[in-house]
Amino acid sequence: MPSPHSVDSIDLCEEISLRAQKRGIIQNILLEVNISGEEEKFGIVPSEAADRVKKIVRIKGVSLKGMMAIPPFSEDPEHSRPYFRRLRELRNEIISRGICPPDFRELSMGMSNDFEIGIEEGATLVRIGTAIFGPRG
């Protein structure tokens, strides 16, 4: 799957849709969820996820593949587990309601410090740049 863009608003989704349609492509996207409620993080609140999914699936030029979230940073990767678990449960709730496309299965969760926990909790995509390239300079 080509790298999906994370989307945290209908406005952003519509802008991506316009640009994708101009290029004659379908852009894969992930719904970004602020699973931790941190003010400095992007993403929708979990209680709005199902409603956003219903709206996004009607927008042409994009294909909603799943969800993504970034938990609060901690030196202890285990601290990420409840956030990853909650995102998986939220995705599964949306699937069980039948309001998402059939390929709504991706979970982007886990970075260099906690990707193993993310995988244990069902991640299908991880972001491990620092582990590969080293710290940003």
pTM given for the model: 0.90
Task: Give residue 5's pLDDT.
Answer: 86
Greater model confidence, 52 or 137: 52
Rounded CA separation 137/129 (Å): 13
Domains (ranges, CATH) in the chain?
5-129 (3.20.20.10)
Rounded CA separation 15/17 (Å): 5
Residues 130, 136 contacting (CB under 8 angstroms): yes
Neighbours of 47 (CB within 10 A): 8
Give the least confident one: 33-42, 45-54, 125-134.
125-134
Number of H helices, E strands in the chain: 5, 5
Task: Give residue 103's pLDDT.
Answer: 93
pLDDT digits (tens, 9 = 90+) for 62-112: 999 999 999 999 999 999 999 999 999 999 999 999 999 999 999 999 998
55: DSSP letter: H
Rounded CA separation 24/119 (Å): 34
